[in-house]
Structure 1
Amino acid sequence: MLERSSAEMVLRPAPDAVFALLDGRSMLFSEAGQKIFELDRVGAFIWCKLAQGASLEDIYRGLAALGIDGNTARQFTRQVVNVWIDRALLEVDWRMPTDCVFSANLGRHRISVRAANRELLGRLLSPFCVSEQGGEGDIEIEAMMLDEQVILRGEDSSISRCDVEALAPTIKARVTERLIRSNRWVFSLHAASLVKDGMGLLLCGQPGAGKSTLTLQLVDAGLQYAGDDVALVGADGTICGIPFALTLKEGSWDLLSRLHGDRYDATHCRCDGVRVRYVPIPDAQNQCVSARWIIFLNRVASGPAQLTAIDPLDSMKRLIENAFAADGRLSQAGFFALKRIVAGARSLQLTYGEAVEARRLLMESCNGGA
């Protein structure tokens, strides 16, 4: 079981949440959500206690005095508190310890992550390749335990929660979303990114195409790692990966063991139930580069690996299908940035069944082969 948080947490009604009675029936009104929620007797008791500043332990004891056994009291209180947090009906306030914090530079932003204790901090470190102790950031996340779940708070006071096993993937997803929505980039691509001799290589493909596995192979072959999931694009057409630790699903764990032994055997569970392991790459690239190779992955059941040239216009169309923008649409600035990327790079489709063969073919191409 994870160590309990040493910081003090206070749960209280959000300023725009109102409690009222109508003909003896209890209800909540959310001004932000423009919705009314009816409460039963126990829910109303819990809400009023929180409004009075009671702790969860105080509420458990109060419910016991009403004849509700301890386990039922805890379970019901956790359920309603989770629902109210998800609906932004509750505010969560706490004061964090000053020595459980690290920072990292990603996508031209400084990320600061604070935790309520060191064990929680260790889990938060898992998806980061490089970090520094302490430091402030323009993107900040705090994490604290609430019973068996982790509560996360951003610098904008937004609150979310997740299971302990899903903490590292949740942090990665949350930071990635913030970077994608940053106005420092015109759009982003769903692609792994690597660097050879100062020039970028993009691996594009749908989930399951093998981007992360092939990225691991190419890093082992000598390419510099820059990110395995999202590449950010500047207005000048340069690309910048988000160098989180390389994320590998279960199908790649045998390869991981062959290359690194059991060094990275800690398993995390994403919110969709997929189990992953993280491989931090110490010398990960964190700078903007121009793309020289754009590789579209086409994974097949069997057959030899083949590289096929793709028409630049077709390449642009494919990249747009894998693009994200802060407002959900590609701007004219984004279009011209995309044009610069394609004009300066070779666009190729890689059809392959085995990652080892794909690695050999790509390295030959990067080294000046056909």
Structure 2
Amino acid sequence: MEAGSFQFAAADVSEPISLKLSEGVHPLLVGGRQALFSARGEKLYELNGTAALLASMLREGSTFAALAAALARDGFDGEAANGTVMELLCQWSAQNVVDATMSPSDAPGSWKQCIHVAGVDAAIHYAGAEQYMRISPIFSHLAHPISKPATCIDIADADGLTFVSCNGGSASVIGASQAAPFIKGLLVEDILAAAPPNIALHTACLAHRDRALLLGGPPGAGKTTLTVALSRSGFDYVSDDISLLGRDGRVQGVPFAPAIKDGGWALLRRFCADIAALPTHMRLDDVAVRYLCLTQPPPIVWMNAGWIVHLRRVAGARPELRKIDPVAALVRLMDEAHSAAGAATLEEMRTLIALVERARCFDLIYSDLDAAIEALSVLCAED
């Protein structure tokens, strides 16, 4: 444990967390039916009687206990009232319909974890020991003493829910199992916002003989599973999800702990014997993941890209590496690239072009994990 990275004290979350409709959200009657209008989202949400009751209370501000008590008076039993309130608050928070207000992060009782990742300095404040033990190991390899973090994330547990705010703003309402992926998402937003002059690529990154192997592909292509397996088969792990491309054409991974979806757990059991014992976390899209916590951060170095491989997993397919030209490789990378400005500049395009012209670019069609490992090991051994 690095000195100065953590601060401990007794937890203190004694004040009820205040809940209210977000600014610009208004209850409306449409043809005699209840609805919520979100000006920011430019959306209209139809409400049933239960949701309309809660929305009317949230218009002036309320608490979880008051909302559940109102449903109990409306005929719900205690468990059903709590469950309904929890479900609606999480749904409305994801839709930016409800905001929560919680105590500031510097109040006595917070457990503090300071991290540095991809140029972003952040402090995560946990409300108590259970929460800290559940979430902090996922980010512990990024621990770094920071006196003035640019990003401060506050987390509190109350009423069976988790509340997360960033830089003192309104808190989002999520399930406890969603906290770690949600925090990672906040950090990724900051990394992408701070990316210029670098370009963020939605690719995994492995190091092999001082060069980078970039793996891209659509959701479900097995990018993270294959990345972890390769890192146990002679490659060095750098990142499973995001890479940065610098102006000079070199790349660097964003070294979060790899997040393995449930489809990869059995496949990786022989590479990671303890994967079945790891805690399960839920992304906001209801995808279950387990994080392979890292004991130390991967080497943070800029590398030339030796290989760019776009994954295509096809059931029953024999492994096949198909060489693709720079134009095809560029199209695939642009589908998975991010520009903070919302549009690629000519300079960014030239940087991407230089990347695909210098690297060897392939599609990998595969079904079997071992066959994919062998194909990529042979490919990278050729150079």
TM-score range, shorter chain: 0.7 to 0.9
Flag the 1:232–1:18 CA change in 2: closer, same or farther, 3 A: closer
Structure 1 segment 304-319 matched on structure 2, within 5 A: 304-319=318-333
Q: Which runs of 5+ in 1 are unaligned?
A: 21-26
Q: Which runs of 5+ in 2 are unaligned?
A: 1-9, 28-34
TM value normalised by structure 1: 0.80
Q: Distance in 2 between matches of 1:206 and 1:279?
A: 22
> 2:142 is matched by which residue type in structure 1?
S
Query: Which residue in 2 is equivalent to 1:24?
Result: none
How far did residue 143 of structure 1 move? 0.9
Moved more, 307-316 or 219-228: 307-316
Q: Distance in 2 between matches of 1:158 and 1:60?
A: 19
Q: Distance in 2 between matches of 1:83 and 1:250?
A: 23
Query: Which residue in 1 is equivalent to 2:338?
Result: 324
2:101 to 57, 72, 92: 92
Bigger Rg over Cα: 1
Query: Which residue in 2 is equivalent to 1:214?
Result: 226
Q: Distance in 2 between matches of 1:358 and 1:312?
A: 22
Is the contact made by 1:188 and 1:233 (CA closer than 8 Å) also made in structure 2?
yes
Q: Secondary structure at the match of 1:259?
A: coil
1:139 to 146, 151, 158: 151
Q: Secondary structure at the match of 1:261?
A: coil
How far did residue 356 of structure 1 move? 1.1
> 1:124 is matched by which residue type in structure 2?
I
> 1:229 is matched by which residue type in structure 2?
D
Q: Does 1:293 align with 2:299?
A: no
Q: Secondary structure at the match of 1:361?
A: helix
Q: Distance in 1 between matches of 2:292 and 2:88?
A: 37
Structure 1 segment 209-248 matched on structure 2, within 5 A: 209-248=221-260
Query: Which residue in 2 is equivalent to 1:120?
Result: 131
How far did residue 17 of structure 1 move? 7.2
Query: Which residue in 2 is equivalent to 1:359?
Result: 373
Q: Secondary structure at the match of 2:123?
A: strand
How far did residue 205 of structure 1 move? 0.8
Query: Which residue in 2 is equivalent to 1:109?
Result: 120
TM value normalised by structure 2: 0.77
Q: Distance in 1 between matches of 2:222 and 2:215?
A: 9
The count of corresponding residues between Structure 1 and Structure 2 is: 357
How far did residue 359 of structure 1 move? 1.2
Moved more, 354-363 or 27-36: 27-36
> 1:293 is matched by which residue type in structure 2?
W
Q: Secondary structure at the match of 1:255?
A: coil
How far did residue 43 of structure 1 move? 5.8
Is the contact made by 1:99 and 1:134 (CA closer than 8 Å) also made in structure 2?
no
1:274 to 284, 287, 298: 287
Seq. identity, % = 26
2:213 to 172, 177, 201: 201
Is the contact made by 1:299 and 1:352 (CA closer than 8 Å) also made in structure 2?
yes
Is the contact made by 1:153 and 1:160 (CA closer than 8 Å) also made in structure 2?
yes
Query: Which residue in 1 is equivalent to 2:18?
Result: 11
How far did residue 92 of structure 1 move? 0.6
2:176 to 135, 139, 164: 164
Is the contact made by 2:319 and 2:367 (CA closer than 8 Å) also made in structure 1?
yes
Q: Distance in 2 between matches of 1:339 and 1:92?
A: 46
Flag the 1:313–1:147 CA change in 2: closer, same or farther, 3 A: same
How far did residue 129 of structure 1 move? 5.9
> 2:239 is matched by which residue type in structure 1?
G
Query: Which residue in 2 is equivalent to 1:23?
Result: none
Q: Does 1:130 align with 2:136?
A: no
Deviations 1:254-301 (A, max 9, x none): 233212222553212222222211112334233332211111222232
Q: Distance in 2 between matches of 1:332 and 1:17?
A: 38
